[in-house]
Amino acid sequence: MQKATFGAGCFWGVEATFRRIDGVTATAVGYLGGSLKDPSYEDVCSGQSGHAEVVEVTFDEDRVSYDTLLETFWACHNPTTLNRQGPDVGTQYRSAIFFHDEEQKAKAQASVRALTSADAFPRPIVTEITPTSTFYAAEDYHQQYLEKRGGAQSCHIP
């Protein structure tokens, strides 16, 4: 099993999107990329911890490729808005790919170049591509939040 970690705004809808992919064996929402050890939701929402809301995806690379996960990432949010997804504003909602190894880094960078060359978005992509760091799982009530609330498809505007 491999891991991939993405920040694409509110983690509730992003998690639900990745959970539907055949070959994704687990997901967890949490916080990554900040300076505070063991942040709470309130810490992250304050914008002071530096963390992004992220989804950690565990996947079987024999069933789904990292490239497919990247395609899903690009399709499920707007990577051209800095620190914003729909009505959600703040650094915690930034577009980010946290790579786990050099191969993921290279694939993420290549996907940005390809999308930019294809003029896939009307504005420049502002997604950060950085190494993963300590992943802090969000509180239990955030895990599979939309599924627990009746299967809503999304909580943000892609």
Catalytic residue among 10, 45, 76, 155: 10
Sequence-ordered list of residues with C-beta below 8 angstroms from that of 16, at least 6 positions apart, any chain: 144, 146, 147, 152, 153, 154
CA distances from 134 to 30, 37, 41, 118, 156 (A): 10, 9, 16, 34, 26
**Separation CA 30–CA 82 (nearest Å):** 20
* 45: annotated active-site residue: no
Residue type at 57 in one-letter notation: V
- Which residues carry out catalysis? 10
